[in-house]
Amino acid sequence: MAKSRFEYVRNYELPDPLMPNAFIVVRIDGRGFHKFSDTHSFQKPNDKRALDLMDIAAKTVMTEYKDVILAFGESDEYSFLLRRNTKLYNRRRSKISSSIVSLFTSAYVFHWSHLFPEDPLKYPPSFDSRVIVYPTEKEIRDYFAWRQADTHINNLYNTAFWALVHDGQSTTEANKTLQGTDSKDKNELLFSKYGINYNDLPAMYRKGSICVRSDPRAVSGVQQTDVPVSASASASASAFAETSALSSLSISNGVSKTGTEDHPHETNEILQTRQSEGQKTRSAKKIKPYEGIDGEIVVLHEDIIKDRFWDERPWLTM
């Protein structure tokens, strides 16, 4: 087909690939949610329905995009981590960013009535989106730690702020009361004045929401992936070594007969090479590490700052 004379404008569409082999984070954030939450009478400081809706929208994104292996949400924002070597849309920045925020927004609207059956949407909400690329595991862990620390700081402030307001202070007065206070002061204020033990508040409010898949191969509650990769690799290798020692075998075709008799023209050296090649193939098959792209998506409200969360899920930073 002949090209039209207008076709040249296509050349203005510049490629926008993201660096290979680096971690991609997409963060979406509700636009003008201060007003949106007021207009739709969200409970203060936290509305569980609104947070549940955010989690459902995030799960929708993860269900559609398997390469999103982790998501963290608080308030009106959600961060999505794509696996390091994702080939999604050839790693095109705009395509990845726009597709994720678009699906998130439509899922938010689609499920609105399930969470707010009595309160129809008064106008269409929207979310912005940005992409950040991080070079190493350290920055990824620090990124999610940063978001969870933010959740804690905001929630502690908001809890104290709304306690004061519900107690009769104006918003300006409550602001003033909290000026210059640190987290110990706020905890103290909540406990001594209102009998609120901050640590007893729902973990969802204090820790935010983590969406992550669980390893479907996990047996009786023990995840194979709980074992560090190197340990499981050596365990599989030695298990295989035992098997091969027992049958003293030819491995690749699965026919188990003793070596030298079946291969009269081959030296032991060649046989050993073959055996170790077979061993590699078998071991590699056995220990193919879980990549976090299949399995059930679970929503957790736990610590993402300490090592434990990451140690239990080595695939997140593979």
Site for Mg ion in 41-100 (CB under 5 A): 76
Report in angstroms the alpha-carbon separations of 287 from 217, 236, 316. 12, 7, 17
Distance CA 78, CA 54 (A): 8
- For residue 134, the SS3 value is strand
| Closer residue to Mg ion, CB minimum distance, 80 or 309 | 80
Question: How many chain residues touch ligand GTP (CB under 6 A)?
Answer: 15
CB 186 within 8 A of CB 127: no
Q: What are the residues facing 82 on neighbouring strands?
A: 24, 68
33 binds Mg ion (CB under 5 A): yes
Nearest-angstrom CA–CA distance, 284 and 200: 46
Partner from ligand GTP, Mg ion, none binding residue 129, C-beta < 5-8 Å depending on class: none
In whole angstroms, give the CA distance from residue 274 to residue 250.
Answer: 8
Q: Which residues pair with 312 in a beta bridge?
A: none
**What minimum distance in Å lies between the beta carbon of 146 and ligand GTP?**
15
3-state secondary structure (DSSP) of residue 34: helix
Q: Which range touches Mg ion (CB under 5 A), out of 24-32, 111-119, 148-156, 303-311?
A: 24-32
- Tell me: is residue 32 an annotated ligand-binding position: yes
Chosen residue from 18, 27, 37, 309 binding ligand GTP by CB under 6 A: 37
Q: Is 108 in the site for ligand GTP (CB under 6 A)?
A: no
Q: Which stretch binds ligand GTP (CB under 6 A): 39-47, 104-112, 281-289, 301-309?
A: 39-47
Contact between 207 and 303 under an 8 Å Cβ cutoff? The reply is yes
* List 25, 26, 28, 50, residue binding ligand GTP (CB under 6 A): 50
Residue from 18, 25, 46, 151 touching ligand GTP (CB under 6 A): that is 46
142 lies in the binding site for ligand GTP (CB under 6 A):
no
Q: Judge whether 150 and 74 are in contact, CB under 8 Å.
A: yes
Among 17, 19, 31, 135, binds ligand GTP (CB under 6 A): 31
Rounded distance between C-alpha atoms, residue 173 and residue 106, angstroms: 39
Does the annotation list 29 as a binding residue? yes
Any bridge partners for residue 92, and if so which? 17
Burial class (CB in 10 A: 0-12, 13-18, 19+), 172: exposed
User: Minimum distance between the CB of residue 49 and ligand GTP, rounded to whole angstroms?
Assistant: 8
Please say whether the beta carbons of 26 and 80 come within 8 A: yes
Q: Does 125 bind ligand GTP (CB under 6 A)?
A: no
- Picking from 51, 67, 56, the residue whose alpha carbon sits closest to that of residue 213 is 67
Stretch that binds ligand GTP, among 36-44, 99-107, 234-242, 263-271 (CB under 6 A): 36-44
Q: Which of 29, 52, 150, 188 binds ligand GTP (CB under 6 A)?
A: 29
Region of 46-54, 187-195, 231-239, 262-270 interacting with ligand GTP (CB under 6 A): 46-54
Annotated binding site for Mg(2+), which residues?
29-30, 76
Residue ranges that bind Mg ion, judged by CB under 5 A: 29-30, 33, 76
Residue ranges that bind ligand GTP, judged by CB under 6 A: 29-34, 37, 42, 44, 46-47, 50-51, 75-76
